[in-house]
Chains A and B, each alone.
Chain A
Amino acid sequence: MPSRRPATLRQSLTAWLWVAPTLLFLVLFVYGPALANIRYSAYSFSAMSQEMDFVGLANYIRLFADPLFLTGLTNNIAYALISVFFQVAFALTLAAVLEARIFPRFAANSFRTMLFLPSILPVVVVGLIWQLLLAPSLGLVDQALWALGLGEWSRAWLGDPDTAIFAVIMVSQWQWTGYIMALFMVAIRAIPRDLYEAMELEGASGPRIFFNLTVPGARETILIVAIITILGSLKVFDIVWVMTAGGPNHSSEVLGTLMYRAAFRDDTIGYSSTIATVIFFIALTVGMVQIKLQKDH
């Protein structure tokens, strides 16, 4: 490798020019609005009004005292925990099974495609279809439960405050587990085949191979998937809004729906910016944890 001389002015100028458009885009559409958002959170105003009233930290005080904030945050945390379980643990297991040469190649590829398909559907379509499937009496889920003799499990999944958010979370898992599984399948393929054969020769059982070889081997992907899943759970909005709009009676609110309703139904944009800022800082913290964990490797 040729020794590196310090870049000439012309070279660094060219480098800056290459990066400039993207930087400009990021500043205009990402960092600028994020900072503007923090500024707006100190005001109280609506979409219609033409003046903004400065209120300082009043919006934040109101947010932290609001019981709905706790409901939303709890739901986001539940979302994150369940998503990590399904999309990290379960998807990895599925990927390992499909890659373990138990099924013929053709079958494994078909399963992968079938499990992957839900992730290409638009979120709104998924939400609306599952809303109909889960509808009481009319929905196929309810009809299936009765037909199988499991009628006592029948309930209004999206209409019961105890089950609404969990029904939405499970639909989300249905949509994304296959996608994550496909990612893991690629990660597992990167693990050298000889290591697997060596363990099989030693007579190691499936689970032992899984925990001692697959999991450490796919470590980087596991970390990235976990972070993406957690961040996604923090920011989730569309699937919840389409299926329950945060109801019934605010039981399935998440921070995203609270933020949206504050801006577009309650006409309190300052308050909405406050919620957005809080989401931003929680996401920032999670992101920094990820960078730290990656650096440690």
Chain B
Amino acid sequence: MNRLFTGTALIAMLAAGPTLAEDKTTVTFLHKYPEPESMQFFEAAVAAYEAKRPDIDIVMEAVADEPYKDKIRVLLASDQVPDIFFSWSGEFGRKFARDGRTYDLTEALAGPEWQGRFSEAALDPLRFEGKQFGIPTNVNAKYMVYNKTIFDEHGLEEPETFEDFIELLETLKSNGVTPIAYGNQAPWAGTHYIGDFFAKHVPDDVRTADYQLLSKPEELYTHPGYIKALEQYQALNEYFNRGANALPHAAARGSFFAGRTAMMYIELVEFYMVPGSGLEEAGWSFFALPTVDGANGNQNLLTGAPEGFLLSAGTDVAKEALDFVNFITSPEMARDYVKTTGMTSAVIGSVTEETASDAVLAGLQRLEQADGMALWLDTDMDTASANVILAAGQALLSGDATPEGVMAEVRKKALEVQTTR
């Protein structure tokens, strides 16, 4: 009897304990930047915010790129969506908005505390049907980075047109140099090339309508530019390193940084990895994939995308969550972000000579010269068609698919999904 009494009293105290200590509002926050540099920034930012607002408790979690795609779906399905969560722009983010899982930020972002923070190019890919569903935090772009020493050895210069580019590749190949490092084992790498070529060969309005399944059924994915784009991708096969389909992107990048190949197509957010590597000593620069004469698409779109944070539709703490995101995207915090992580924040004025390396600054400036961004294909196309392209990126290299066959399959899958929308 005594033991029962003590036991109950203990449990009652334990239950009361947390509630007594608590008058804080909890905001849950999930992002995909677990790298030490990024965590350094985010942990400092959370601590600074909690010091400013002692009534708010930010519970933060970070998961890497691939596992993030699994985790967010599990959380959505089990209805445990964090108040603030990361998303890529384009279709990846749109599908959350389409199913009503995101908080509409249109009004909030029109407020005075958000004015002049983000460019239209960063905000637009995070809109669905005119409504803002995401706040951009990073912009990213993809460039062909090259090893200056190797280029100088063979008297090569940055190509102006795609034909110049092919000549350049031929020169390297005939001199026994592996022209381009390429790791397509995780097939998103191929979609970056293919996405860029689609943007160059297919008129922008046709392409975006196709991606979002807004085209008329008889015209969906029928533009001949798509096939030309895939043929162009296939033509690069002989200039990639051997066994690209078996090589992880990171391994290919390591090989490029060690000076074993002349070039690699990498993202602006990977530029910070160069200092300290063999590539830094050899000297390096970059160019956007050059224009294709006679192609029908917009030659001045740059492959890249913003990414950012979304708020859950079911959140009870929208005001606090927005305040926190406003805090971490403020000009001072954004400059700190760029300095600490080397990434390109979407906040206007955060990437300057003081905060970023020359290369990153140049990368962002080149992005600002573009007419817009061609978003990552695997996050922009509807999922079923994107899956076909993901597999095709590997199959076109191994000879197991033809450009016509791939587009026919893409069209078939797209039509199936279109009828359900």
Contact = CB atoms under 8 A, between A and B. Distances in A.
A165 to B, nearest CB: 13
Majority-rule SS of B interface residues: helix
B246 interface: yes
Contact of A131 (B98, B248, B391, B398): B248
Contact of A46 (B99, B242, B245, B400): B99
A286 interface: no
B196 to A, nearest CB: 21
Contact of A250 (B74, B95, B391): B391
Nearest to B391: A249
B96 A48 contact: yes
A245 B186 contact: yes
A215 interface: no
Contacts of B243: 135-137, 155-156, 159
A49 interface: yes
Nearest to A51: B99
Nearest to A142: B243
Interface in A219-268: 244-245, 247-250, 263-267
A132 B95 CA distance: 35
Given A48-B96, A264-B70, A269-B77, A159 B383 contact: no
B147 to A, nearest CB: 17
Contacts of B383: 265-267
Tell me what chain A mostly uses at the interface: helix, strand, loop, or mixed.
Answer: loop
A249 B398 contact: yes
Contact of B246 (A47, A159, A249): A159
A158 interface: yes
A134 interface: yes
B402 to A, nearest CB: 13
Contacts of B394: 159, 247-249
B398 A248 contact: yes
Max chain B CB contacts within 10 Å: which of A131, A164, A265? A265
Contacts of B246: 134-136, 156-160, 164, 248
Interface residues of A, number: 32
B216 interface: no
Contacts of B384: 266
Contacts of A247: 185, 187, 245, 391, 394
Contact of A266 (B242, B245, B387, B398): B387
Contacts of A161: 398, 400
B154 interface: no
A121 interface: no
B247 interface: yes
A159 B391 contact: no
B255 interface: yes
A63 to B, nearest CB: 15
Contacts of B395: 248-249
B255 A138 contact: yes
Contact of A138 (B185, B245, B251): B251
Nearest to A162: B398
B241 A159 contact: no
Contacts of B241: 136-137
Q: Interface size for chain B: under 10, 10 to 19, 20 to 34, or 35 or more residues?
A: 35 or more
Contacts of B69: 264-265
B328 interface: no
A48 B95 contact: yes
Nearest to B74: A47
A11 interface: no
A3 interface: no
A50 interface: yes
Nearest to A249: B395
A157 B383 CA distance: 28
B359 interface: no
Contacts of B32: none
Interface string A36-51: 0000000000111110
A137 B243 CA distance: 8
A264 B255 contact: no
Contacts of A244: 185
A248 B95 contact: no
A160 B395 CA distance: 10
B173 interface: no
Interface string B237-259: 00001111111100100010000
Given A47-B74, A48-B99, A50-B100, A160 B398 contact: yes
B182 to A, nearest CB: 11
Interface string B372-384: 0000000000011
Contact of B398 (A136, A157, A159, A265): A159
B76 interface: yes
A87 to B, nearest CB: 26
A85 to B, nearest CB: 25
A164 B243 CA distance: 12
Interface of B: 69-70, 73-74, 76-77, 95-96, 98-101, 185-187, 241-248, 251, 255, 383-384, 387, 391-392, 394-395, 398, 400-401
Given A245-B187, A248-B246, A248-B395, 10 more contacts: A135-B248, A138-B247, A156-B247, A160-B246, A247-B245, A248-B187, A265-B387, A266-B383, A266-B387, A269-B77
20 contacts: A46-B95, A48-B99, A135-B247, A136-B242, A157-B246, A159-B244, A159-B246, A160-B398, A161-B400, A164-B246, A244-B185, A248-B185, A248-B246, A248-B391, A249-B391, A264-B70, A264-B74, A265-B387, A266-B384, A267-B73
Interface of A: 46-50, 131-132, 134-138, 155-161, 164, 244-245, 247-250, 263-267, 269
